[in-house]
Chains A and B, each alone.
Chain A
Amino acid sequence: DGGITQSPKYLFRKEGQNVTLSCEQNLNHDAMYWYRQDPGQGLRLIYYSQIVNDFQKGDIAEGYSVSREKKESFPLTVTSAQKNPTAFYLCASSPMDSRAYSNQPQHFGDGTRLSIL
């Protein structure tokens, strides 16, 4: 079945440690996204990528980094600079339509819950 796989489901980070969240999709989507979800705050965009080897910062990119070396993969690294990393992280993907303003629905993974030890 096609879909988005996020791993691990639960992750714990020690102070001063970088951790990497995995996101893989087999939907052949060009665009991929990372969101952070905190209680009562909805989803906030961290980074997004519309094409391999290119990505843009979202609203809350500080303390995070990404790479897009393959179309299928968009890993997110939570660096030690992110002082409040405890949250639920969601990865999404969508096709990029040839039309300018199609705004295709985003498809989401099951999420990774990150906590501080």
Chain B
Amino acid sequence: AQKVTQAQTEISVVEKEDVTLDCVYETRDTTYYLFWYKQPPSGELVFLIRRNSFDEQNEISGRYSWNFQKSTSSFNFTITASQVVDSAVYFCALSGSNTGNQFYFGTGTSLTVIP
């Protein structure tokens, strides 16, 4: 079975603070992919990153960074020096090698950055 857990329902931070969004996944597949999406108030989901299960290197893109640890089945997302424009709902998703391109989404974390 495939499952994604985002235990943090809502987070509020003050602008310029760092914030980490947690994502824990479950899968029996040896090959799988993990994704993060951002959903601003407009509603559209915006793709942020994809990682495959064989690549545990952390990745940094500007103020965004991702920490993938297979040992703890986690794929956490950190925003450094948060800005008001980062306010959105963030979803973590999983797709396994035996599920075609079917995605399994977590319930999302709503981030509010206070100016």
Contact = CB atoms under 8 A, between A and B. Distances in A.
A41 B107 contact: yes
Given A100-B97, A101-B97, A88 B105 contact: no
Contacts of A85: none
Contacts of B43: 88, 90, 110-111, 113
Interface residues of B, number: 26
Contacts of B42: 110
A19 interface: no
A109 B44 contact: yes
A50 interface: yes
Contacts, number: 61
Nearest to A88: B43
Given A42-B108, A43-B91, A103-B33, A108 B102 contact: no
A58 interface: yes
B69 to A, nearest CB: 20
B57 interface: no
B101 A50 contact: yes
A72 to B, nearest CB: 18
Given A40-B107, A42-B107, A43-B91, A111 B102 contact: no
A45 B33 CA distance: 17
Nearest to B98: A101
Contacts of A40: 9, 107
Interface string B19-38: 00000000000011101010
Given A42-B91, A105-B50, A94 B101 contact: yes
Interface of A: 31, 33, 35, 40-45, 48, 50, 58, 88, 90, 92, 94, 96, 100-101, 103-111, 113
27 contacts: A41-B107, A42-B6, A42-B106, A42-B107, A43-B45, A43-B91, A43-B103, A43-B105, A45-B102, A50-B101, A58-B102, A90-B45, A92-B45, A96-B101, A100-B97, A101-B31, A103-B32, A103-B33, A103-B95, A105-B35, A106-B47, A106-B103, A108-B44, A110-B42, A110-B44, A111-B43, A111-B44
